[in-house]
Amino acid sequence: MGWAGAALVLCLILNALAAQVRPTLFPMRQGLSGEGALETAALVSLGMRRLAADVGLVRLLVYYGSSEAEPDGHGHGHEPFDPEHPEESWGGGRYAELGPRALRILDADPAFSYAALFAAGALAFNLNRPDDALRVLDYALSRDPRNHEYQAYVAAIGFHKHGDAQGVIKRLEPFLGSADCPVMIRHMVAFLYERTGQRRRAAELYRGIFETSKDPGYRGLAAAALKRLAD
């Protein structure tokens, strides 16, 4: 059995070296949700953390895109979009699971900044829950402290809390062209441009959304805004 011992010793040496080369991944601190526990565990065990995060994002988008069920079993109806009260177009609900779902996605893939920015943006600017949004961003920053986009969002939420539209614009403007910038944020900044009298910039941004966004909902909103600005 000398060969078996030699093989094991070689494996041991290789793995000891591998453990030095690569640090331990971030542990999953949030735990699994009952809804997606099986698929997340299966995907992670197959070495597909990024795909587990992707599936989590799809679930988050479906959750946020659906009307929230009330205790009597009836959901809120979606109202036409009102830029002054964006939360009402999402049923006026609280979407209590939005933050925790985003944290679970970050557990699976800490580099998935789109999920954090989407959830933080929705919580702060659509649902008027800036503190919950900051909690998501804090968690994201604890895993990716060098991400400037997170830092800009934290600042923008601070300005938003004080009703300073120009401050929000100034903080978010440099990241509007980033691949990870959710269309929701671009639409919100376009609206702030419009509200602060910067009609040309608003029109440019709305046109960009209309021409490039993959979200038909926001394309429709941008088309309506462009028509409104042209009148």
Nearer to other proteins, 15 or 166 (CB): 15
Q: What sections of 126-215 are H helices per DSSP?
A: 130-143, 148-161, 165-172, 183-195, 199-212
Q: How many CB atoms lie within 10 A of CB 119?
A: 28
Residue type, 55: V
Nearest distance from C-beta of residue 122 to other proteins, angstroms: 13
Which residues are near other proteins by CB under 8 A? Answer: 3-4, 7-8, 10-12, 14-19, 21-27, 44-51, 53-54, 57-58, 61-62, 108-112, 114, 143-144, 182-183, 213-215
Contact status, residue 201 vs residue 210, Cβ threshold 8 Å: no
Nearest distance from C-beta of residue 113 to other proteins, angstroms: 10
Length of the chain: 231
- Name the residue with tokens 């070689």: 10
Nearer to other proteins, 76 or 219 (CB): 219
Nearer to other proteins, 108 or 203 (CB): 108
Nearer to other proteins, 37 or 111 (CB): 111
Nearest distance from C-beta of residue 112 to other proteins, angstroms: 8
Residue 82: both structure tokens together:
């009102």
Paired residues of 69 in beta bridges: 75
Nearest distance from C-beta of residue 125 to other proteins, angstroms: 16
Burial class for 24, CB neighbours closer than 10 Å (0-12, 13-18, 19+): exposed
Measured distance CA(174)–CA(200) in Å, rounded: 17
Measured distance CA(137)–CA(144) in Å, rounded: 10
Q: What share of the chain is helix, strand, coil (3-state, %, to 5)?
A: 70, 0, 30
Nearer to other proteins, 118 or 191 (CB): 118
Nearer to other proteins, 164 or 180 (CB): 180
Nearest distance from C-beta of residue 48 to other proteins, angstroms: 5
Nearest distance from C-beta of residue 14 to other proteins, angstroms: 6
Largest CA distance in the chain: 87
Nearer to other proteins, 60 or 156 (CB): 60
Nearest distance from C-beta of residue 55 to other proteins, angstroms: 8
